[in-house]
Amino acid sequence: MDSRASGTRALVGISGWRYPRWRGDYYPTGLTQRRELAYVAERMDSVELNGSFYSLQRPESYRRWRSEVPPGFVFAVKGGRFITHMKRLAGVETALANFFASGVLALGPQLGPVLWQLPERQDFDGPLLESFFDQLPRSTSQALTLARGHDDRLQGRVHLEIEADLPLRHSLEVRHPSFLGDGPTALLRSHGIGLVIADTAGRWVEPRAITSSLVYVRLHGSRELYTSGYTDEELDDWAARIGRWLDGSGTPDGDPRDVVVYFDNDAAGHAPFDAERLRDRLRALTGGQP
DSSP string of 33-67, one letter each residue: GGGHHHHHHTT-SEEEE-HHHHSPPPHHHHHHHHH
What mean pLDDT value characterizes the chain? Answer: 95
The pLDDT of residue 252 is: 94
pLDDT (tens digit per residue) in 234-272: 999 999 999 999 999 999 999 999 999 999 999 999 999
Lowest mean pLDDT among 2-16, 165-179, 255-269: 2-16
Domain count, the chain: 1
Instruction: Say if residues 13 and 256 touch (Cβ distance below 8 Å).
Output: no
pLDDT digits (tens, 9 = 90+) for 139-166: 999 999 999 999 998 988 999 999 999 9
Is pTM beyond 0.85? Reply is yes
pLDDT at 268: 92
Expressed as residue numbers, the domain containing 211 is: 2-286
The count of other CB atoms within 10 Å of the CB of residue 199 is: 21
Domain harbouring 202, CATH code: 3.20.20.410
Q: Which helix (H) or strand (E) holds 261?
A: strand 258-263
